Each structure stands twice: as C-alpha cells, then as structure tokens.
Structure 1
C-alpha cells in the first residue's frame, strides 16, 4: 500500500528556519505473496522494518516493532533509551504472538530521528539488520548505516569485494534482528541537521533492484519526496521486484527560501 503524499513539519531550534518534508511507500513486489515490510514516518521519527520468518512471522515482527515505536511519537518520548525500551517490548510482543512459531521470526529496523541537545536538533540514524539509511549531501550519496550481515563481515575482513557480495549465497543472511530472542541495541550514528540534506530509508527490496547510482539519479530527478518515492518504487518493480519494497524519503529545506513548485503547508507543532 502506497502512502506517497508529502508531509511537512517545521524544525525548531535551528539557526535558520528549516522545514522537513517526507513521503513513504511499501509494495509487496512482483514475486512475494505477502508484504512483510512496514514503515512509520511522522515527525520526529522515520523508520523501516523488513520482517522475516515462516507463515505470518515476518509481518508480525515488523508490525509489532513499528507499533511500539509509533507509540513513542504519540507520547512525545523519542530518544535512544525510549527506543530501546520499546524494542524490548516488541521482542515480547513477537514472542507472545500466537502465530509466532518459526524460530527465525524477526525483523530488521532502520531509520532516523531528531534528537535535541539543549534545544539544538541533530539527526540520529539507527540500524539493526541490513535495511539501510542513505544520505544525499552536497550532491554526494553516502550509506550512513552499516549492514549487520554475513557478507558485510566478509567485506570488512577483506575476503570478498562489494561486487562479489551481491551474488554471494549468504547475501540474505543477517547477523542481527529484532525478534523472539535477546535484543542487541541498534547502532547509532549522529549527524548534524543541514539544509538540502535528503535521506533515503529503505528495505533491501529497494537496494536489490537499484544501485546507489540509481538512487542518486532519482533524487536528482525529483525534488518532491513523493515523486522520488514513486519513481524509485516503480523502477524497483520494473527491475524485477524480487522482494517487498519499502522506502521513506526525508528532506530538509531552508524555509526562508521555499521551492516555488511546492504547495505544501507546514503542519505546525
């Protein structure tokens, strides 16, 4: 189900008035019968989860995790400690669910949130598994997160190249997940808030079908987050859609210099 309407929100505490805009979508893809991905995009938290497990296990895991984290936004308590408490609760939800029968049930989790230090905002990325956060800054795309996967460990050890990883027989094996077992906290990376930045938060259903160059191309071609989401999703499906595809795009704009093509209105506090 797509949700590609652009939403906006002012960013308080910045030296210059900044505005966030974002959009997200998820699709079952061309080869899967069910969609085990889920996402949540609402100021100040933007996350994607990619479930795994037999029967309904993956869907249970991803939706349970998203639901627990969504509640943090409702209670205005988004931060590292609160996120980890919510994930502990999600692990319990997954373990207790009557349809969780597969020991492999779990979900990846990745995304970004705004954290405030003495009233000044900065971004924090979080990651468990092999879903990713990319950042386009100064027209250069970088992968912010590091995959928790067997092939990433092999790359880090110098045993295979990134190109060899794509066709490796263990390319889908992850080493960390949110699931019915002891939780390992997410990896965090802190980033400054800068006008012009654009984040892409995605499951591996996107990165299986689009290269980093392809992601950068569609960001350059489409200034509006919803248009960029639609274009990337369509390209991933056209390129095979071998897995569920989910992505959220978040971008930061200088509110004092609005895009003349934009008709979005701030949501307010």
Structure 2
C-alpha cells in the first residue's frame, strides 16, 4: 500500500528588518508556535514559499492542501480601510498585506482550506471589504485586549476573557457546546466593520468579534482573533480548531491527488 504524502499547509512569512540601526538586513520570518500547531495540531507539514507574490498564488495553491494566515507583531496597514496611521511607532508589513489579501480571496474562490489567526483574522476581514479599529483600547465602551508586554509568555497567553459563541456555530461545536469559553487576548487592532461575506461566530463581552466564518465557503474557511496555536495540544478547545482544519486539509489532499493521477489512475 502506497503511503500518502503529507498534507502541506502554506504559512506566509513576515517581512522584517533585523540587526543594529544602520546595519539592518531583511529577513523572512515565521513564528515557531504557528508552524508547530500545524505540525502537531493539524497533523500537516508547514510550508513556506519565500518571496511568493500575487502572480504565483494560483500555481502555489495547486501544490498545497491548506493555508494558515498567522498572527504577527505587525499591523494591517490602515490605508486598506481608508484611514491614516494612528500610531507610527507600531510595526507594519505592507509586503505581507499585498500577498495575504489576494491569497485569502483565492483560497475562498478555489475551495482551499483557510484558517486565520489574529493578524490573519484581520487580513481576511479587510481583504473582503471590512475595516478595523486601529487601537481597540481607545474606543469608548471597548476593553483593552492587549497583553502585558512585561509578563512571562505563559501569562501573556493564558486565558484572559470569555467569548460567547454563536449558538449552533462551528466554533461552539469546537468548544464542546459551551455557552461561553475563555481565551487569550493579545491584539491592539480589532474588527470595526465585519465584511459582508463573513458571519460572526463569537464575540467578546464588549461586543468585539472574536471569530468568523466565510459565508457559503466550499471548504473550511474560518478565522479567530485569539491565539489557539499556543500549546494547542494542551487545550481541548484550541486542539479542536486545528483538528478540524487538519481534516479539511486531508480532504483537499485526496481531491488534489486524484486530479494529479487523472481519470484512469495513471499520472496525468
């Protein structure tokens, strides 16, 4: 019996300058926790395509079984929702914006499983016509959703507040049917206007959208504002999200391999 090849999940890289001032070099970066969650939680092989651009999206999507848009220290550039930068000290990544906005739309159009986390959640919303609060903590009536930068990582990623899943949603199923579930919170930007093609699956107590689904998507297409990648194997709710993503990727792999073999079973 032939062994199936691994499921491949594309995680776009961040673009950052590292080094001392005056001696900085550009780096392409991916957080270990995101790759590890794909590897352990989704049981798939994380994959980078360094310097991928919009023109290569269709070709590269034909090689993979899913896409995960990760969180990042950088923010989505507010020019994408017709605003000026509110805080110039916060990092931006316009090169990533350009790729991921087009990639998110291509995944939905082509039925490629798509999972967005934090920045990835915000990218999908903006790509599909939504907008963001640049600084949620400065909006009247909204909580401060940021973590304490001085706290240990275990404290930063510990459950911070409850979210209320929409009844009957996939998110509520992943939460074991619970009416509310506690999650971590490490974001400054947040959804201001949910894109027309999206439907909320959970809210924070202050009303901020914490999870959404793409309406009518042909495959898994969900995103969350919190960070389920953090030690997902220790948290049944977080683990369920990645298990569902992995199942969708394996379904995509079956279709992709059948197409590659051709109708007769011989290589096309």
Q: Write 1 or 2 for the structure with the bigger share of strand.
A: 1
Structure with higher RCO (Cα < 8 A, 6+ apart) = 1
TM-score normalised according to structure 1 size: 0.28
